[in-house]
Amino acid sequence: MKRKYYMLIILFVVGIAIGSFVILNNKKLEYKELPRVKLKKQNKPKQFALLLEQTKGKGDYKESKSNDLPLGGYKFNEEKSGCTDVNGKKVEDVLSYDYDTYTVILDTSKTLYCYLYYDKDNVINYLRSTDTEKHLSQELVGGMYRYQGLYTDDVRNYICLGEYCCNTESCSEDDNDSMYRIIGVTEDGELKVIKKTSLTNLLWWSHSKTTDIKWPQSLIYQKLNGKSDNSTEPNLTDSNSYYYNLSENIKNLIVTDHTWLYGNTSSYGNYNGNTMYDIESGSIETTFYNKEDSDGNPTGKGEWYEKIEAPIGLMYLHDYLYAYKTNEEDSGNPANQENAKKGWINISNNQNSTTLNEWLISGYGYLFRLEDYSAWYIDRTTGGLYQMLLWYQALARPVFYLTSDIELSGIGTKENPFMIN
């Protein structure tokens, strides 16, 4: 009888132990210790369930298996997030979010179980969290939030789009072939990036002299997007093109149908700050000059530009000018060539001699004094913007847009560049 009594006790104890193990094990699956959390008081460890939206705007949340709070691609949902006590009762006003440091704050001495909801979003929040020197503009500038910075190469906008990016001074420039820099980010989260180093070979705009040739017919365009019989379309299957030789992973990230603007520009030496910033905007009236006006007087406004859809382009004049502005009030006068020369977008391209010029996408114009067609370039000696005859050679740095549907890691420095998860 006693033996039967003892057996029942043993079975009861074992049953409790197994039940406790199952409950604890299930709770471990549901809750995790909360990482990266600021506590205003010393508390017992908190536990939480991290729920991430799978499709933007759909509310289809799924519990994350990671212990890291997300930054790139997500935005904290304060309204939906909350905490309960050990009895499952909602606890008010203990959970908040610090948008300066992108961390969750718990202000309580109780043991809580918290549900943290994150909505699918673009990468702007993540870029801002790494922008410690505040180089990323707070407002849209020329259609983008732009990385700006006068006299510095410390702007945190390095992004690696390959398997290996050199991050030491002793590496050769060939090791940096996968390194790019972010010019800016659109409101929708598309990143505009420029190759850190230029293509190794010098390129003509056109081989022939006295040729009225536009951006889609230029040898640079064909080198970047492929040579096509149809001058209004790229040839993405051309094995000699820059686009074709990118990895499939990168191709899948590029906005292949981005609309690039090009067209007439002013005659040699005739420019000012407002004209330069207006060029390529499309929505702003821009003074331009054309071949028929031999005196170089304005002949029209707002009708100079043309468009083409292609994956790869070059930087615009205003990309170059905005890069060395320090804030929204700075005029970024292109006449101040020393400022431009020391801006991050210029000095980051240290692969080649500073005496080699660099082409810009900004179209074709007519040099009356030389009676020939030209395109804009950056003068590597002065940092100024000028026009050069189409049959001259210069460097080119590919520029393209990355889709907004990406998540980033890294902090944007040369040593720890942004990487796409």
> In this structure, are 204 and 318 located in the same domain?
yes
Average pLDDT over residues 251-262: 90
Residue 364 lies in a domain: yes
> In this structure, are 223 and 105 located in the same domain?
no
> In this structure, are 117 and 253 located in the same domain?
no
Residue 135 lies in a domain: no
Residue 236 lies in a domain: yes
Q: Indicate the range of 7-21, 43-57, 238-252 predicted with least confidence.
A: 7-21
What is the spatial distance between Cα 7 and Cα 420, in angstroms, rounded to a whole number?
60
What one-character DSSP code corresponds to residue 313? B
- Are the C-beta atoms of 118 and 87 separated by less than 8 Å? no
User: pLDDT digits over 49-73, tens only?
Assistant: 889 898 878 889 999 887 777 766 6
Percent of the chain as helix, strand, coil, to the nearest 5? 20, 25, 55
250: containing domain:
192-402
> In this structure, are 226 and 321 located in the same domain?
yes
* Boundary residue ending a domain (95, 121, 147): 121
User: pLDDT digits over 260-319, tens only?
Assistant: 877 654 443 344 445 555 555 444 443 333 334 334 333 333 344 677 899 999 998 878
Average pLDDT over residues 122-143: 84
What is the spatial distance between Cα 337 and Cα 323, in angstroms, rounded to a whole number?
13
What is the spatial distance between Cα 273 and Cα 244, in angstroms, rounded to a whole number?
37
**Residues sharing a CB contact under 8 Å with residue 118, sequence separation 6 or more, in sequence order:** 50, 51, 52, 53, 69, 70, 74, 75, 76, 77
- In total, how many domains does the chain have? 2
Residue 414 lies in a domain: no
Q: What is the pLDDT of residue 36?
A: 59
Identity at 373, one-letter amino acid code = Y
Average pLDDT over residues 317-346: 67
Q: What is the dihedral of CA 101, 104, 107, 110, to 10 degrees?
A: -150
Average pLDDT over residues 188-204: 90
